Chain A
Amino acid sequence: MNRLNFLRIAGLAGATLTMGKILKASPQKSNKAEFVGVLYDSTRCVGCQECEIVCAKEHGLPKPDPEDYPTTKEVRKANEKRRSVINAYETSKGELYIKNQCMHCNQPACASACLTQAMHKTEEGPVIWRDNKCMGCRYCMVSCPYDVPKFEYHSSNPNIEKCNMCFDRIKEGLQPAFVENCPAEALTFGTRRELLAEAHRRISSNPETYYDGIYGENEAGGTGFLILSAVPFEEIGLNTKLQKKSYPELTKGFLYSVPSVFVLLPAILLGIFKATKKRQTQEEENE
């Protein structure tokens, strides 16, 4: 009888623990909150790399090499020493520039992958990384559809490097450094709703300049970094194969099945155990 009671309590406790855990794990229904974001109008970008320089200065990263500028010959990549890069592409409308950085997804794969909440979608909108929580498992890198988080492989106390939209400046009421310093005014800071409205306005008032679409409006469930382009997105190296649903949706089914398994399976196992035990004692009595 004691053992049975123990099992009951253990089962209940286990079930409550997991249930509590999973219910909290459902995607945040914070779409009502006004996320801030950045609209990047690549048709205005002149590829001057000022954003790269101020980013390095703002976040204490090594000063960019002046010899390393965008050319159509190679695709430059962000890494643990630079959070954002400008690339040049030869397109149907001539040579065009495109900034590559964190997209600040509405429902980021990296943050839902993070088991310590080091990668975090702030209420304001930027996705930030927190040093004291991270254990360096790099699951965010595995999960990010844009391959944004970068890891310091050659450090004994490695950090993840990624754009945080200058979150400290935003909290102080300032604009992100790369937005403020863009000489071509290719970057606009604001709430995501305003930025989308502005982007649509630009497309409809200048249909010959713009490709009809906003990269990030629906990609990966919508992003905080929105891109306007003169040419179809593939031509400037943007990944158009990404799904429109958010990436955390992909693990939702699995995570939702956990509480049911945790409640039902032990009960079934206990049932089978009792049944086979009974059969066995009967057999022994018959002998």
Chain B
Amino acid sequence: MNSIENIASRDNAGQPIWKFLMSELKPRGKYFTPFNIISVPIILVGLVLIVIRFIYGIGSITNLTQEVPWGLWIGFDVVTGVAFAGGAYVITFMVYILNIKKYHSIVRVTVLNGFLAYVFYAGALLLDLGKPWNVINPIIGNSFGVSSVLFLVAWHFLLYMMAQLIEFSPAIAEWIGAKRARKILSSMTIAAVIFGITLSTLHQSGLGALFLMAKEKIHPLWYSEFIPIMFFVSSIFAGLSMVIFEGSISHKVFSDQISEKNHKAHKGIIHGLSKICTIAMFAYFFLQVLTFVHGKHWDLLNTPMGYWYLTEMIGFVLLPMILYFYSYRTQNIFLIKLAAIITMIGIIINRLNVTVIGFRWDAPNPYYPSWMEIVVTLTVLFIEIWIFRWIVRRLPVLRESPSWVKDH
């Protein structure tokens, strides 16, 4: 109990706010962790590459072509990243709408993860824009391209980021000790959650709808008019697999933050999530089979792209689904984590198949990402993890709220 008291006292208790914030800015923890040693050089190289990109143009560090105008930065950073951030709307749905208290302890960390994912992956989008200074055009209203799916997605990103910030804001209020603000902010949670789930439903599917007009450009095994529904359904188990994966890492790295009670509850949470993943994946697999049968592409199965399609469907959807189901029945936590990792690889493969690998698969000079695109992607990812770590070490995200919260 004593250690928890110590943790709680980290939040501001009566200090002037600026003094408190200045003291919080100081770095904490060891400098030479394996993560720091790997991430710092990559981030530095990545920042140099970003400067080069803005001086000499996108072509100076990417392999994009006139036929394949969207590459790794859109296919992985944005489309895959947003799918992984889907955990936030699923968990808030269960906790706030369905009132399943069991998952309450992971709401904050999941929402924080989702929020940072959107900030950084939408931020990565700016790197991919030729004229990023015009990004305000679709927002301030001088040129609304209202018939564009991308217009919808852009607006939803913006609004959803705000909804997530509201969902997360009570943690900030608790951190700086703003009691009245916390009360007001937490009264807005339900509205933000309802709004956020609606936005998520639409833009998770909207990311798929972006590719509907590229009908002849995407390999027929991956193109169908059901891409939006597939993207939505798969975002459920993509997000939850991410929650399982991130949760098991957080419980090791930030074990000092987590109370005894929540440590014990974690297995139950993972176990419950594996059941939801099984059901969502079954629905997804069923949809994929149905789409395939309706598409009448049996002849394409016996081609290299067909083998790749079967690898994705059997190795990275069916297999982890069975694994989730089996480990749920046998309560094997290790296998659940394994299933989560295979599912996540499968989601990466699926999103890249639709957006990059299957896009213009027949082009005479196919697109492969350059090493510089990969380094910039890793830079975005690592900076996000740095910020995540900074916040978790300071704000009541994984640990219990300060004691004054319950008195109210």
Q: List the interface of chain A (C-beta within 8 A of B).
A: 3, 6-7, 10, 14, 21-22, 24-27, 77, 79-80, 109, 112-118, 132-139, 141-143, 145, 147, 150-158, 239, 241-243, 247-248, 250-251, 253-255, 258, 261-262, 265-266, 269-270, 272-273, 276-277, 279-280
Contacts and interface: CB of A to CB of B under 8 A. Distances in A.
Q: Top 6 A-B pairs ranked by shortest CB distance? A: A136-B130, A153-B59, A276-B99, A115-B151, A138-B69, A135-B134
Contacts of B56: 154, 156
A279 B99 CA distance: 10
Contacts of A253: 225
Nearest to B206: A254
B212 A250 contact: yes
Interface string B121-141: 000000011111011011000
A261 B97 contact: no
Interface of B: 54-60, 62, 64, 66-67, 69-70, 93, 96-99, 128-132, 134-135, 137-138, 142-152, 154, 187, 190-191, 193-195, 197-198, 201-202, 205-206, 209-217, 225, 228, 359
B191 A133 contact: no
Contacts of B134: 116, 132-136
Contact of A3 (B137, B190, B198, B213): B190
Contacts of A241: 216
A265 B148 contact: no
B95 to A, nearest CB: 10
Contacts of A80: 66
Contacts of A143: 213-214
A24 to B, nearest CB: 5
Contacts of A272: 97-98
Contacts of A133: 134, 137, 142-143
Given A115-B138, A272-B98, A280-B99, A147 B67 contact: yes
Contacts of B217: 142
A250 B150 CA distance: 14
B50 to A, nearest CB: 13
A252 to B, nearest CB: 9
Given A77-B66, A156-B56, A254-B205, 8 more contacts: A115-B148, A133-B134, A134-B130, A135-B132, A137-B130, A138-B130, A142-B211, A241-B216
B147 A27 contact: yes
A262 B211 CA distance: 22
A264 B195 CA distance: 12
Contact of A255 (B62, B97, B149): B149
Contacts of B128: 137
Contact of A251 (B130, B145, B209): B209
Nearest to A264: B198
Contact of A277 (B99, B194, B209): B99
A257 to B, nearest CB: 9
Given A25-B147, A115-B145, A154-B60, A250 B213 contact: yes
A242 B99 contact: no
B146 A151 contact: no
Nearest to B136: A135
Contact of B216 (A27, A145, A153, A270): A145
28 contacts: A3-B191, A7-B190, A14-B195, A77-B66, A113-B149, A113-B150, A115-B151, A116-B138, A133-B142, A135-B132, A136-B134, A138-B130, A142-B69, A153-B58, A154-B57, A155-B130, A156-B54, A157-B131, A158-B57, A239-B216, A243-B215, A247-B215, A250-B225, A251-B149, A258-B152, A269-B93, A272-B98, A273-B96
Contacts of B70: 138, 142
Contacts of B147: 25-27, 112, 248, 255
A141 B319 CA distance: 36
B228 A254 contact: yes
B96 to A, nearest CB: 7
Contacts of B59: 153-154
Given A25-B147, A248-B213, A269 B60 contact: no
A83 to B, nearest CB: 12
Nearest to A144: B213
Contacts of A135: 129-132, 134-135, 137-138
